[in-house]
């Protein structure tokens, strides 16, 4: 059996689209997809506002992330936060896939994930389906056990 060597960049399919706000020449949107040993970092940055100041914030965050690829997402977010102190700020979503497991931190692309899953015809529960299938049978009993053990 022949083995095929894949580059880490081939492990994730991705696409991006961005355009400046009408009347502006630069966009405050940015992204980073960077492979590291055993994984890949995915980042989406939206500099606050529009134009050059938003682009400066995005550039600062991208520089901090690029210098810390492969580190835990909490450390990446801390580095981004530090880099953004001298800017107007940005909304950031980070996903790091390492050895097949993904860690995510950010401002919730849940509707995007749902839309992609629906487009691919993958089964995803509705909100109420999630509540009745996972929250009530698993989460509520766990919360009751924790309360009984530590707070009674």
3-state secondary structure of 144: helix
- Pair 20, 50 in one domain: yes
pLDDT at residue 73 above 50?
Answer: yes
- Pair 124, 52 in one domain: no
What is the band of 14 on the pLDDT scale with cuts at 50, 70, 90? Answer: confident
pLDDT at residue 53 above 80?
Answer: yes
- Pair 1, 75 in one domain: yes
Provide the β-strand partners of residue 92. 45
The pLDDT of residue 3 is 46
- Pair 65, 125 in one domain: no
- Pair 10, 78 in one domain: yes
- Pair 5, 75 in one domain: yes
Residue 2 sits at φ, ψ, to 5 deg, of -85, 140
pLDDT at residue 57 above 70?
Answer: yes
82 or 126, greater pLDDT: 82
Q: What domain range includes position 136?
A: 109-152
The pLDDT of residue 96 is 86
Q: How far apart are CA 135 and CA 128, in angstroms?
A: 10
Give me the CATH number covering residue 62: 3.60.40.10
Torsion of CA 97, 98, 99, 101, to 10 degrees: -50
- Pair 91, 126 in one domain: no
Please report, for residues 4, 8, 47, the alpha-carbon distance to residue 20 in angstroms, rounded to integers and kept in the order given. Answer: 41, 31, 12
Tell me if 31 sits within 8 A of 41, measured CB to CB: no
pLDDT at residue 65 above 90?
Answer: yes
- Pair 47, 58 in one domain: yes
Average pLDDT (93-101) is: 81
- Pair 76, 28 in one domain: yes
Lowest mean pLDDT among 2-11, 55-64, 93-102, 117-126: 2-11
- Pair 18, 54 in one domain: yes
Q: How far apart are CA 68 and CA 102, in angstroms?
A: 17
What is the band of 4 on the pLDDT scale with cuts at 50, 70, 90? Answer: very low
Q: What integer best gives the mean pLDDT of the chain?
A: 83
């Amino acid at each position: 059996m022949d083995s095929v060597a894949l580059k880490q960049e081939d492990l994730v399919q991705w696409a991006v689209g961005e355009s400046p706000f009408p009347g502006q020449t630069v966009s405050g949107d940015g992204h980073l997809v960077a492979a590291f040993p055993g994984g890949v970092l995915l980042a989406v940055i939206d500099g606050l506002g529009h134009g050059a100041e938003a682009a400066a914030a995005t550039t600062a965050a991208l520089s901090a992330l690029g210098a810390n690829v492969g580190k835990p997402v909490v450390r990446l977010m801390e580095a981004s936060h530090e880099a953004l102190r001298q800017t107007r700020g940005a909304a950031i979503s980070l996903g790091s896939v390492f050895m097949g497991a993904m860690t995510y931190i950010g401002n919730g692309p849940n509707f995007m994930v749902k839309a992609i899953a629906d487009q691919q015809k993958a089964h995803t529960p509705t909100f109420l389906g999630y509540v009745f299938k996972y929250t009530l049978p698993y989460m509520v009993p766990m919360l009751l056990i924790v309360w009984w053990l530590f707070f009674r």
